Structure 1
Amino acid sequence: MHRFNPPYKGFYDVNSRKGKSATKEFNVSFYDNYDSILDDNLVDIVDVCVPTFLHKKVVIKVLKTGKNVLCEKPIALGLKDADDIINEAEKAKGKFMVTHNHRFQVENVMCKEVADSGKLGKILSCSSYRLGIRPDWSEGNWMNDPKLSGGAATDFILHDIDFCNWIGGKPIMVTAQGIRSKTGAWDYMDILINYDSGIKGFVEGGWMCKGEFPFTQEVRILGDKGTIDWISRAEKNIEKRAQAASRVAVYLEGQSVRYPEIQKKILMRSR
């Protein structure tokens, strides 16, 4: 959200040290509890960044105040909680949105724009891959507890499913297979998606890679007249992906490889 430079009012975090550190960075207030955020009439939008298992409780409480709510993905751990949130959002005065942030990532936006432009011809397939090592930075290691995060399937691979949905449209059939890690979660998966548009979606992802395996993202959109390909490889730590080596290329029938304006944006971003 920082890319759009909204006026921040303040932060709340159960870890006051981290919360106060963020307030210094943005020069805003630190709230002692999140009820005080809800009571502040100057707050228009609440971005709910709590661990996934707390989404339903916090989101519904904020929606009942009439404030607008951004909920970090995924919407919830299960369908029942997701439906409860949706039902409350439909009644609420404020607006509700799940922040699938990769729809705003500059490389993904360019891939979508090129696909929509018709330059690739009829879109035949969308492939999205996301591979990395197990996360080790979450507070209390909650991300590695499938009862709290859902594992890679809901916390990690979800980005790639959403991107394929963005390109493909409405899924009509899904086939998936996966590997359970020692935590019991589906932490590595291959997914095939058929869309009502006729586009095929191919997703591979997981965080079961070992050692120094770099955080890797790849998108490939295949058309009957061309292909756009994006690949990004960072250090093993996903938090350093802003410094990743990233390349987008467009391959059109009968033409030399093209590197669109996205390359300039990537270079400018890295400076």
Structure 2
Amino acid sequence: MKKDQMIPGRRAVLRIAACVGAALTTRLLTAGQAQTPGSPAAPPPATGAQAVSRAAPPVKPSAYRLQPMTEGAQPRYRRPLPPVRKTPILEMPELGRTMVLTFDDGPDPDYTPGILRTLRRYDVRAMFFVCGETADTHRDLLREADGDGHIICNHTWSHPLMTALRPSRIRDEMGRTSQVVEDILGYPPLWYRAPYGAWNRYAFEIGAEMGMEPLAWTVDTLDWETPGTDTIVRRVVDGAGPGVVVLNHDAGGDRSQSVAALRRYLPRLLDDGYRIAVPHR
């Protein structure tokens, strides 16, 4: 009799386990639906280390921002996280007989408009590595550059020497700048450059977490030293070559020589058969 009584007992346990399993399955499915983008009950995007540790391929740029995007805003770009590099990109030979012009430290109302006019005249695009505090002050210039098709990039908030900063400060400098660019233009930058060309492991790691690639340069015009317009032109022309990245400045001091030099060397580069272009956005 005892043996016969054990059979229904086991059946009861199995029925209870099946019910519990079904309830848990329903709960997990409901939770998964609640996390679907666009669902009314969807939680805000994860941020910081929480988002980096979450396994959800592919990670969107907004998912590892220091702050969530403004509700309803959609970043223009989507791509997987870039690799963590040990050295910055110096040139872009994959672009063929093409050179890349870059301008650091802006935007500046005294010099950036002249550079934009010259680029517009020759219908070419450049990369602008902006400092967050100046971009926040001169938002219309940032919008104008973006409207002309130029690439807006991250050059930290206040142009510090990043190798002298704690990782938390590096994250703040880069994160604030990416956030203000996204606030103004609706998308975060995909490229960044260390002030003074001073890179370290933390800068590479944090930049990759934010979805950005590190770009240095091949030709340094040293225009910040105001060596004279002729000297700047000569340095660019002598250093010209396929995939070359040229470093100029459109802020941070008197950049009238930089503006004048661009008017002279840009048509020469085009006459020599070079294309002036930027990476695909």
State TM-score, norm by structure 2. 0.25
More relative contact order in 1 or in 2 (CA 8 Å, sep 6+)?
A: 2
Larger Rg: 2
Structure with greater strand share of residues:
1
TM-score of the aligned structures, taking structure 1 as reference length: 0.25
Which has a greater percent of helix? 2
